Amino acid sequence: DTGVSQDPRHKITKRGQNVTFRCDPISEHNRLYWYRQTLGQGPEFLTYFQNEAQLEKSRLLSDRFSAERPKGSFSTLEIQRTEQGDSAMYLCASSRTTENGYTFGSGTRLTVV
């Protein structure tokens, strides 16, 4: 197991375009999280899944954002009609239910131009 994998590592897109990121968690982890980190700030919670169910969404997650985790395995995060303010590092993490800490992926850096 190579840990939490995120794809792509970098994405540059024009304002108004849609983008989709993928996260492959550690296989035995049933919890999956998405966080966003902007320059000089700590990661901010966006949403989390327990298996395939999306159980919590932050108010940071506007209607333009949608996340899925079909079959409780990999997850996708889609941003529609991107804005310059969406430029950030998008981090995925996973954990077992019994754990308090997460394992993070290396993130996807999004730049909206």
Partner 1 sequence: DQQVKQNSPSLSVQEGRISILNCDYTNSMFDYFLWYKKYPAEGPTFLISISSIKDKNEDGRFTVFLNKSAKHLSLHIVPSQPGDSAVYFCAASANNNAGNMLTFGGGTRLMVKP
What tokens were used for 85? 């303010």
Shorter beta-carbon distance to partner 1: residue 17 or 41: 41
Comparing C-alpha atoms, which of 8, 21, 1, 36 is closest to residue 75?
A: 21
48 CB neighbour count, 10 Å cutoff: 23
48 binds partner 1 (CB under 8 A): yes
On whether the CB atoms of residues 58 and 45 are closer than 8 A, the answer is yes
Nearest distance in Å: CB 100, partner 1: 5
Nearest distance in Å: CB 58, partner 1: 8
The SS3 of residue 27 is coil
101 binds partner 1 (CB under 8 A): yes
Question: Of the candidates 11, 29, 43, 82, which one interacts with partner 1 according to CB under 8 A?
Answer: 43
27 binds partner 1 (CB under 8 A): no
Shorter beta-carbon distance to partner 1: residue 14 or 101: 101
Whole-angstrom distance, CA of residue 10 vs CA of residue 64:
20
On whether the CB atoms of residues 67 and 79 are closer than 8 A, the answer is no
Residues near partner 1 (CB under 8 A) are 4, 31, 33, 40-45, 48, 50, 55-56, 91, 93, 95, 99-107
